[in-house]
Amino acid sequence: MKKALYALGIIIIGLLMISFPTNAEKGSSLTKETNFLFLVGMAVATLLGLFVLGLLVYMLFKYHEAKNVPRKRIKNEMRWEITWTLIAILLVSFAFALTVPTIQKIVTEPESYETLTIVGHKFYWEFHLEPGSQAAIANNRSDFLVFPRGGTLKLIVGQTYLINITGADVIHSFYVPDLTLKIDAVPGQYNQFWFKITEAGTYKFTCAEYCGISHYNMYGYIQAINV
Count of structural domains within the chain: 2
Which domain range does residue 168 map to?
A: 114-225
What is the tens place of the pLDDT at every residue in 66-101? Answer: 667 776 777 777 888 888 889 889 988 888 888 888
Asked if residue 142 lies in contact with residue 132, where contact means CB atoms within 8 angstroms, the answer is yes
Same-domain pairing of 69 and 151: no
The CATH number covering residue 65 comes to: 1.10.287
What is the tens place of the pLDDT at every residue in 2-56? Answer: 555 566 666 665 655 555 544 445 677 777 777 888 888 888 888 888 888 888 8
Same-domain pairing of 140 and 101: no
What is the b/e burial string over 193-225, where b = at least 16 CB atoms within 10 angstroms of the residue's CB? bbbbbbbeeebebbbbbebeeebebbbbbbebe
Choosing from 91, 107, 123, the residue where a domain stops is 107
Same-domain pairing of 89 and 118: no
Asked if residue 225 lies in contact with residue 154, where contact means CB atoms within 8 angstroms, the answer is yes
Same-domain pairing of 82 and 119: no
Same-domain pairing of 95 and 149: no
Q: Where are the alpha helices (DSSP H) in 63-192?
A: 78-107, 134-138
CA atoms within 13 A on the CB side of 121: 10
The CATH number covering residue 146 comes to: 2.60.40.420
- Give residues with Cβ within 8 angstroms of 71, minimum separation 6: 63
Angstrom distance (rounded) from CA 101 to CA 105: 6
Q: Does this model's pTM top 0.85?
A: no
Same-domain pairing of 123 and 21: no
Same-domain pairing of 125 and 57: no
% of the chain at pLDDT higher than 70 = 82
Same-domain pairing of 94 and 8: yes
Same-domain pairing of 120 and 95: no
What is the tens place of the pLDDT at every residue in 158-173? Answer: 888 888 999 999 999 9
